[in-house]
C-alpha cells in the first residue's frame, strides 16, 4: 500500500498581509477539479456548483481536509447564486457538519464555487462571504474550468479592510489513476527527524505599511479598484453600461496597451453579474468563424451539440428572447478584437441585427487598440462601422488627472494627510510615465519605497527626505 506521504503530496500557499498559510491534499484539490464542469463534459447543460470547505486551523493558517456541496436551484440562471432557499441549504450544511462523523472534528474554513468565464468575485460573493464566513482566516476558492485546459483555482482571502482580495491562482492537476487513497490522512507517517534548518529571516515590512497606510495603493497590476478612482475609466464603464441598458447595440472601446482597457471591461462584467445580465466575455480573438461560435456557445453555456453557426444562432436567439422577456438583455464582450477576421466581424454585424419591437436583443462591445477604429473605418467594414452607437477612447492621463488619481489612491489607502506625494514629484512621475497607468503605479511605488527607506521613518518626518528622492528619480534615465 502506498504511504499517504507519497500519495497526498499536500499543496501549500503562503499569503502576505495579513499572513496566512493555506494547505490542502492534492487528491482533494483533484476531486474538486474533477467535479467542476462534470455535467458539461457529459454533454448536459452546465450549471455552476459550489459548497463549503472544511478543515483545521493551524498555528499560522488553515488546511483544507474535506468539502460538502450546497444545493442550488439556479433560480437566477446557471451561475452559483444562492436564493433564500439555497441559503437555507447552506445553513443546513454548516449546522449538520458536527453531526457527520467524517467531518465532526473539522470546522468551516471557507467556501468554493465554479465559474466558466473568469475568476470574478462579485458583490453577491462578497455578501455571502461576509455573512457566513466572517473570520479573517476563512478563504474562498473560485474554480475556473475549461474544456481544453486544467481547472484553475483562484484563491481569495481577506485584506486588512476585511474584504475579499484575490491572492493567486493555481492549476489543479488531475489525479493519477483516478482513485482517492483509501486510508489517506493529512499527517505523514513518522519519519526520522530532518536536520534543523535555520529559520528564514523575517520579511521586511512593505514601504506602504511603514508610511502608515493600510494597504498597497499602487500594486504592480491594475485591478477594478483602479477604475473606481480614475474619472475617465469610471465614465467609460458608465457609458457602456448605459448603452447596454438602453439596448444601443454595437459599442466600441479603444485604448493603447497599458491604459486600463481590460480593467474597464472587468468592471463592466462585475456590473452585469450584479444585475443578473447574461453575457459572454471572449478574451481572445477567434481566428475562424467556427471558433467564434464555439467560444460564444462555450462561454454562455449553451447546450449546443454540433456547435454549428445555425445551431448556436438559434440558441442565442432563444436566450436573448428569454432575457428580453425578463426585462434584461444579452451581451457579447469581445476584447483584443484587432486580429478578428472580416468574416467574423461581418457575423458580429449579424448578431447586432437581432432585434424585436422593443429594441436590440443582443448588445455587443468590441474592444481593442486605436488601430481597430481605423480599420473599421475602411470600405470593407463600412456597414459595421455605421452600426456603432457608442465610441469610448481611453487616453493617457494628463498631469492634472494623474495628480487626482494618485491622491485618490493614497486617500483610499488611509494616507494620514494630503500631499504625501508632493506636486513636484507628481510632475516627475507624469513626465516619466507618459500618462500610462501601469507606469504611474510603478513610479509611485518606487517613490514610496525610497521615502520609507531606512529605519524609523514615519509619514510625519519623511518629508525631510523629499528633495533627495526627487533628485534620485530625476537622474534615472527614461525607459525606452
More confident residue, 55 or 352: 55
Please state the rounded mean pLDDT for residues 312-339: 90
Q: Supply the pLDDT for residue 444.
A: 93
Residue that has been written with the C-alpha cell 448536459 in this structure: 44
Instruction: State the Cα–Cα distance between residues 124 and 136, nearest whole angstrom.
Output: 19
Residue 181 confidence class, pLDDT cut points 50, 70, 90: very low
Provide the Cα torsion 333, 338, 340, 346; round to 10°.
70
Triad 53, 58, 60: Cα angle to 5°: 110
Tally of CB atoms within 10 A around 82: 23
Tally: H helices and E strands in the chain: 18, 15
Instruction: State the Cα–Cα distance between residues 114 and 93, nearest whole angstrom.
Output: 18
Q: Which pLDDT tens digit goes with each residue over 228-260?
A: 778 889 899 999 999 999 999 999 999 998 888
Q: Which pLDDT tens digit goes with each residue over 152-174?
A: 888 999 887 788 888 887 888 76
- Start-to-end C-alpha separation, the chain: 60
Q: What's the order of all strands across the beta sheet hosting 152-158?
A: 11-15, 20-24, 61-69, 50-57, 107-115, 139-144, 152-158, 164-171
Q: Which pLDDT tens digit goes with each residue over 425-457?
A: 899 999 999 999 989 999 999 999 988 885 333
Question: Which of these, 394, 355, 402, 399, lies nearest to 372 by C-alpha position?
Answer: 394
Q: Supply the pLDDT for residue 16.
A: 75
Amino acid at each position: 500500500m502506498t504511504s499517504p506521504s507519497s500519495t497526498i503530496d499536500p499543496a501549500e500557499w503562503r499569503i502576505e498581509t495579513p499572513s496566512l498559510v493555506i494547505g490542502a491534499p492534492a487528491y482533494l484539490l483533484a476531486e474538486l477539479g474533477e467535479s467542476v464542469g462534470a455535467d458539461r463534459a457529459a454533454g448536459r447543460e452546465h450549471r455552476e456548483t459550489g459548497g463549503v470547505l472544511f478543515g483545521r486551523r493551524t498555528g499560522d493558517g488553515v488546511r483544507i481536509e474535506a468539502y460538502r456541496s450546497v444545493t442550488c436551484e439556479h433560480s437566477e440562471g446557471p451561475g452559483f447564486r444562492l436564493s433564500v432557499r439555497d441559503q437555507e441549504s447552506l445553513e443546513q450544511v454548516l449546522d449538520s457538519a458536527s453531526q457527520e462523523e467524517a467531518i465532526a472534528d473539522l470546522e468551516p474554513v471557507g467556501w468554493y464555487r465554479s465559474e466558466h468565464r473568469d475568476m470574478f468575485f462579485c458583490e453577491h460573493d462578497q455578501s455571502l462571504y461576509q455573512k457566513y464566513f466572517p473570520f479573517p482566516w476563512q478563504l474562498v476558492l473560485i474554480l475556473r474550468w475549461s474544456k481544453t485546459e486544467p481547472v484553475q483555482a483562484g484563491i481569495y482571502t481577506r485584506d486588512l479592510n476585511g474584504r475579499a482580495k484575490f491572492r493567486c491562482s493555481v492549476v489543479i492537476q488531475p489525479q493519477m489513476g483516478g482513485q482517492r487513497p483509501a486510508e489517506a490522512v493529512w499527517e505523514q507517517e513518522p519519519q526520522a527527524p530532518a536536520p534543523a534548518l535555520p529559520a528564514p529571516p523575517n520579511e521586511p515590512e512593505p514601504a506602504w505599511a511603514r508610511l502608515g497606510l493600510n494597504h498597497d495603493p499602487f500594486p504592480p497590476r491594475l485591478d477594478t479598484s483602479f477604475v473606481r478612482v480614475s474619472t475617465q475609466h469610471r465614465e467609460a464603464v458608465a457609458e457602456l453600461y448605459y448603452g447596454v441598458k438602453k439596448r444601443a447595440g454595437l459599442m466600441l472601446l479603444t485604448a493603447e496597451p497599458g491604459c486600463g482597457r481590460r480593467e474597464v471591461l472587468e468592471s463592466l462584467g462585475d456590473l452585469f453579474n450584479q444585475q443578473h445580465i447574461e453575457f459572454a466575455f471572449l478574451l481572445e480573438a477567434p481566428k475562424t468563424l467556427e471558433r467564434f461560435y464555439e467560444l460564444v456557445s462555450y462561454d454562455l453555456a449553451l447546450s449546443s451539440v454540433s456547435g454549428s453557426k445555425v445551431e448556436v444562432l438559434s440558441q442565442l436567439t432563444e436566450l436573448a428572447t428569454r432575457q428580453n422577456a425578463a426585462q434584461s438583455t444579452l451581451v457579447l464582450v469581445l476584447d483584443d478584437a484587432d486580429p478578428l477576421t472580416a468574416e467574423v466581424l461581418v457575423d458580429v454585424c449579424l448578431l447586432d441585427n437581432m432585434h424585436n419591437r422593443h429594441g436590440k436583443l443582443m448588445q455587443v462591445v468590441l474592444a481593442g487598440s486605436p488601430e481597430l477604429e481605423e480599420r473599421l473605418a475602411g470600405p470593407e467594414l463600412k456597414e459595421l462601422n455605421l452600426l456603432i452607437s457608442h465610441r469610448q477612447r481611453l487616453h493617457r492621463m494628463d498631469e492634472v488627472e494623474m495628480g487626482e488619481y494618485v491622491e485618490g489612491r493614497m486617500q483610499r489607502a488611509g494616507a494620514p494627510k494630503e500631499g504625501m506625494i508632493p506636486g513636484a514629484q507628481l510632475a516627475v512621475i507624469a513626465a516619466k510615465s507618459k500618462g500610462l497607468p501601469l507606469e504611474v503605479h510603478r513610479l509611485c511605488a518606487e517613490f514610496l519605497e525610497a521615502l520609507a527607506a531606512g529605519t524609523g521613518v514615519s509619514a510625519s518626518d519623511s518629508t525631510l527626505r523629499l528633495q533627495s528622492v526627487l533628485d534620485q528619480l530625476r537622474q534615472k534615465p527614461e525607459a525606452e
